[in-house]
Amino acid sequence: MMANPIVHALVYLIGLMTFAGLNAAYLVWCERKGAARIQRRTGPCEVGWAGLLQPLADGLKLMTKQLLVPDGVDAALFRLAPVLAMLPGMVALAVIPFGAHLQALDMELSALFIFAFASLAMLCVLLGGWASGNKFAIISSARAVSQNLAYEIPMLLTLITIALISGSLNLREIALDQQGGLFQWNLFRLEGWHILTMWIAFIIFFICSIAETNRAPFDLAEAESELVAGYMTEYSSMGYGLFMMAEYINIVVGACLTTILFLGGWGCPFDVAPGWWWFGLKMYALIFTIIWVRWTYPRTQIYRLLNLSWKVMIPFSLINLLITAGLVKFL
Amino acid sequence: MNLPRQRYEETFVLNLGPQHPATHGVLRIKVTMDGEYVVKAEPVLGYIHRMHEKIAEQGNFAQFMPYTARMDYLHALALNHGYCLVGDRDAGIQVTERAEYIRVITVELNRIASHLLWWAAFLLDLGGFTPLLYAFDDREQILDLLERTTGSRLTYCYFRFGGVYNDIDDEFISDTRTFIDRLRKRLPVMYHSLVTGNIILIKRIKGIGIISAEQCRRYGASGPVARGSGIDFDVRKHEPYSIYPELDFDIPVYDEGDSMARYMVRMDEIEQSLRIIEQALDKLPDGPIMAKVPKNLRPEAGTCYAAVETARGSLGHRLLCNGDRNPYRLKLRSPTFSNLSLFAEVAEGMMIADVLAFLGSLDLVIPEIDR
C-alpha cells in the first residue's frame, strides 16, 4: 500500500506528531475533568462544549505570553532544554506498535531504544534546572536525576524478565508473542506459570513508570509546596508549555510500554473490535489510573522514594527475574 | 540528627517566602541548607505588620472591634470574643445568657471552619489536592450559616460589649443541626478513611517534627501544638470563661509530639466542637442578646487580662486603661507567635520536605503573628 518509503515516513511523521500533540493537549483536559469529578466539581465547561476547546485556549494563552529569560541564566541552554524535553517521547512513539500493522519503524531492539531515550528526558530536566540558575530549580534537577537513576534499574530488570519470556527485545515480537486471548498476556500468562509472579513485575513496572514520568505521588522534581515549580520555576510561556507537553507525552509512552509488555499490546480478549482499538482502551485505562492516583494521594518524600526503589523495588525485581529465569529454564 | 559541621562555602541560603506556596501568606524563612538538609532555619517576621495594637490606642473601645478579625482571619470570632471578654471584664458588663450561648455556638462553628481550612492547606503542603475541596465543601456550609447571622463570611465583626449584634433564628438552629449530622457522617468517610489512614500521609507526618513537652513550655506554645506534645492545657477548661464550664466536652491530648499528633488533636477537636455546639443549641435560653451598655465605654483606670482559646491556642488580651474613652494600651499575646518560635530549634537537621510538613502542622496565620 505504502510502498514508497518517503510517503510511508511522511504519513507516520504527521500521524505521530498529531497523535502526540492531541494527546498532550487533551490529556490535560482529561486530567482536569478527571480531577474535577474526583473533587466533586465540574472542571472546565466554558470554552466549547464541556470545555473541549479549553486546551486550545490554554495553548493560545501560553503562546501569547512573553518567554522571559531572566538575568544570570545560561540563555542558550535555557531555551534548548524545553525543546529537547519533547524529543524522547516523540522519538519513542516511532517504534511503538499500536497494532499488528501500525508501527512507524520496526526495530530489533525497540524496547532498549525507548529506555535509551527515556534517560534523555532526565537530562533535559537537569539542563533546564541548571541553566535556570535558580536554587529551587537546581535542587529539583538533583532530585530528578537521583529519582530517574533509581527507578530505571527496576524498570530495566523487569524488562529483562519480559525479554526472557518472549525471547526478544523487539516490542512487536513481544506483543505478537502475547496474541491469542487473555491468558496469553504476560500479566496473566498461564503457559509456564508466569501468572504467579508477573503481577509483581507489573506493579513494579507501573510504579516505576509513574516515578519516571515525575507524576504524583512521585512528583518530587516539581513539588510545588517545597520547590515552587522545581526545574520549571523560571520558565514562562511555551518554555513551560513544552515541559508540560513533554510530561504528558512521556505518560503516553509509559502507558504504551506497559500495555505492550504486560497487557498483550493490541491483542483482544474477545474478538470484537480491531486491535488498535483495544490498544487504545488499555493505554487510556492505564493513563486514567495514573490520573486517579495523582488526585488521591499526597506526595512522598525524596528519601522515601529512593528507599522504595533501592530497598524494595530492586530486590523484588531481582528475585522476580530469578524466579522467571527458573520457570523459563525448567518448565 | 547530628550533621557534620559544614564550612560556609558548602552550604547555601534558600529564601522560603515571603512569596512561597508553603508559607501560607507572607512568612519568610531564611534556611541555610546543606544539600537537602536544613542546617539552620530562621523565620523572618514583619511583612504584614499593620500596627493593630497602636490602632487600638487611637480610637474608642468599639472602634477596634473590626480590626480584631483582621488578625486571625481564620478564627475571627475567637478574636472578637477575646476582645469583648477583656472589655466586658474591665468595664464590669454582665453579658446576657443568650448572648453567651450564641457566642459559644458561633465561635465553635468558626473553630471547625478554621480546622477544616488548616486540614485542607496542610494536605496541600503535602501535595494532596483533592482533600482541599472536600474540606472547602464543608467549610462553605459553615460560612453560609455564619453569613446569615453575622453578615460577613471571613472577617466577622459580630460580637459587641455586652452581647452580640444579631440574634440567631430558628432557621439557623435547624440548619446548624443539619450541618452537625452532615459533618459527623462525612468525617469518618471523606476525612479519615481517605486521608488519615493513607500510608503516604502516615509516613510523611508520623515521627516528623517532634516537639517535646519541655520545648513547648520553654517557648510558651499552646493550643493543638502543646496538646499534641502531651500538655493538657486548654483555656476553655483550665481558665474557664463564658459558658464553657456548663458544657461537657473533652480536651484531646496526644503524647507523641509529632506532626501526626497535632493532626489528630485538631481532627478530634472538630468532633468536640460539634458536641459543644449541639449541647449549646439544646440549652439555648430565651432573652435579650444585648446587656445595657453605655454608648461609649469608659472603664476606670486600671488593667485587665482575659484569655480565650482560639483554634491556634491561647490568645491573651491585656488592656491598660487610664479612664479615657480609648484604651491606653492593648497588648495581645498571640498563640501563633509562640508556636512559631520553636520552629527554628526543631527544624534544625531535618530535610526540606519534612521542614515544610512540620511548618504546615503548626497551623500558622501570619497576620496574627505580625499584627
What pLDDT shows up at residue B261? Answer: 92
B36 found inside a domain = no
Is the separation of the CB atoms in B270 and B115 below 8 Å? yes
Supply the pTM of this predicted model. 0.87
Contact check, Cβ <8 Å, A225/B356: yes
**CB-closest option in A139, A220, A225 to B125:** A225
DSSP 3-state percent helix, strand, coil across chain A (nearest 5): 70, 0, 25
> Cis omega (within 30 of 0) on the bond before B18?
yes
Query: Which of A174-183, A291-300, B308-317, B343-352 is predicted with the least confidence, judged by mean pLDDT?
Result: A174-183
What pLDDT shows up at residue B180? Answer: 93
Residues 264 to 283 of A: which have CB under 8 A from any B CB? none
pLDDT tens, residue by residue, A109-136: 888 888 888 888 888 888 888 888 888 8
What pLDDT shows up at residue B9? Answer: 62
> Biggest alpha carbon distance in chain B?
70
pLDDT tens, residue by residue, A239-275: 888 888 888 888 999 898 898 888 887 877 777 767 7
B47 found inside a domain = no
Total domains, chain B: 1
Q: Which residues contact B156 (CB under 8 A, 6 or more apart)?
A: B69, B76, B77, B80, B110, B146, B150
- Gap between the Cα atoms of B211 and B160, Å rounded: 38
- Per DSSP, the three-state class of B308 is strand
Contact check, Cβ <8 Å, B204/A300: yes
**CB-closest option in A40, A223, A298 to B133:** A40
Mean pLDDT along residues B12-40? 84
Is the separation of the CB atoms in B154 and B73 below 8 Å? yes
Q: Which residues contact B10 (CB under 8 A, 6 or more apart)?
A: B34
- Gap between the Cα atoms of B356 and A17, Å rounded: 41
- Per DSSP, the three-state class of B330 is strand
Mean pLDDT along residues B163-186? 90
Could you tell me which chain B residue has the CA closest to the CA of A226?
Answer: B353
Among B247, B289, B291, residue whose Cα is nearest residue B149? B289
What pLDDT shows up at residue B178? Answer: 93
B23 found inside a domain = no
B257 found inside a domain = yes
What pLDDT shows up at residue B8? Answer: 55
End-to-end CA distance of chain A: 43
By residue range, what is the domain housing residue B270?
52-342
B183 found inside a domain = yes
Chain B CB contacts of A43 under 8 Å are: none
Q: Which residues of chain A have pLDDT under 50?
A: none
The CATH number of the domain holding residue B116 is 1.10.645.10
Which residues does residue B302 pair with via DSSP β-bridges, in sequence order? Answer: B321
**CB-closest option in B130, B200, B203 to A39:** B130
Mean pLDDT along residues B200-227? 90
Q: What percent of chain B stands above pLDDT 90?
A: 28
Size of interface A-B (CB pairs under 8 A): 73
Identity of the amino acid at B37: Y
Query: 3-state SS of A183-238?
Result: HHCCCCCCHHHCHHHHHHHHHHHHHHHHHHCCCCCCCHHHCHHHHCCHHHCCCCHH
Contact check, Cβ <8 Å, A297/B200: yes
Confidence of residue B1 (pLDDT cuts 50, 70, 90): very low
pLDDT tens, residue by residue, B281-299: 998 898 888 888 888 888 8
Residue B205 has pLDDT above 80, yes or no: yes
- Gap between the Cα atoms of B211 and B308, Å rounded: 23
Mean pLDDT along residues B299-321? 89
pLDDT tens, residue by residue, B228-275: 998 999 898 888 888 898 888 899 999 988 999 999 999 999 999 999
> Biggest alpha carbon distance in chain A?
64
Query: Domain ranges in chain A?
Result: 71-330
